[in-house]
Structure formats: C-alpha cells, structure tokens
Amino acid sequence: MDSTLIAGILSAIATILAVIIGYYLQRPKIQSELLKKDLADNQQLIEPNEALDDYDQRYLDYPSHYRFVKGLPQLYLAVCKNAQEGWDTGITGDMRQANYDVIDFLEYVWLRLAKFYPENHWDGKTAQAYIQNYLQERFIFHRSKYEPNGPGTGGTIVYILIGSDVIRDLEELINDTVDSLFMYNDDFDLEAWRKEWRKTITNIQQEN
C-alpha cells in the first residue's frame, strides 16, 4: 500500500480518537468541582450531574448496542495517557484534576452500561442516583481510611490517594458489570475482554 495513503489513514484514526477523548473529558465536571470544594468540610460531597437524555434502554440482543464495550480498554488507556500529563507534574492540584477527569470518564462508562438494565433497577433508584451515592460513600470511606486522626490530619497528599482509590473502585465496578452482562453472551468474547481490561489497568498503574 502506498506510504502516503497509510499515513493518511493513520492520521484520520488519530483525529477520530482525539475527538472521542476530547468529548469525554470536556463533559461538565460538576461532580468533580463539588468534590474538590466540599470534601475537606465533610459536607455533601456529590450533587447530580446534568441529567442524561430520556431513558433509552440498550439490549444485549443487538450487537450494535454493546459494540462500544469491546473498545473500552483501548479508550480507557487513551484517556489515562491524557491524564498522565497531570499526574506527571507532581503538583497536587494538577494531579487531583487528572484523577477527577478519569473518575468522570469511568462514571460515564458505567452509566452507559447501566442502560442495559431497567430505568429504576438499582435498589429502586435510577443509575444516576445510584452511582452518585456510591461515589459519595467511596470518597468518604477512603478519606476516613487515610486520616485515622481526624479530617485534615493527612495533608494534601490524601486527596490524591483518595482519587486513585476511587478510580480503582470504578474500574472494578465496570469489570463486575461487564462480567454480569455478558457471561452468557456467546457473541461477546468475555474472557478476551477481561484480559484486555486487566492488561490496560496494569499498564496504567505501571506508568504511575
């Protein structure tokens, strides 16, 4: 194949990927801003993000509805490579923001996976309400864990550690949800997906 044509194809792929990543990372970060502002005060940690569109349930009978799941490991790796610039600065504020960007992305992914379930499936709550409560509890737990002597005693590094642990929580939540959804789907190679998801997480952790 002509080298010019190959270069053009690669350039087009890179452009598309950049647009996708930019879309996820430029979504409103209402939750992240509230977390940064209120976490230290033990106030309400999370307020609802902008409401999703009218409920549009996805179905496992339609491969087009879950095609995005197959690409999640590669997309997540690209998102974290983008966040790596913030993590590498060593500046607390930049590192925290990088964590929040990744948390926002993972929350968005889980909400899309939750579309395979009925609207008020989660203990009678919408997926949006459920994930907000879940994140609030995880932030509180990790902060309490790192500050046994009371709020504010762990220093600013605590906020970076908290964000990293919440990222791990969401990675597992997504893994468990995909497992449950596709364990009996012969058209989805769940074992291959698991390996790729784990490999992606390992690569990200090694970078940090």
Q: Which of 45, 184, 166, 177 is nearest to 109 (CA)?
A: 177
pTM, 2 dp: 0.75
Q: What tens digit of pLDDT does each residue of 16-49 get? A: 444 444 444 444 443 444 444 444 443 334 344 4
Answer whether residue 3 shows pLDDT above 80: no
Residue ranges per domain, the chain? 29-207
Answer whether residue 98 shows pLDDT above 90: yes
Given this model, what pLDDT does residue 8 score? 42
Q: How far is the CA of 171 from the CAs of 8, 44, 53, 151, 164, in angstroms?
A: 34, 24, 24, 26, 11
Share of the chain above pLDDT 70, in %: 74
Given this model, what pLDDT does residue 179 score? 97
In the numeric block, which tokens belong to residue 171? 């990675």
Q: What tens digit of pLDDT does each residue of 51-78 get? A: 445 778 999 998 899 999 999 999 999 9
Given this model, what pLDDT does residue 51 score? 44
Given this model, what pLDDT does residue 152 score? 87
- For tokens 């959804």, name the residue: 181
Q: Which of 146, 187, 162 is nearest to 60 (CA)?
A: 187
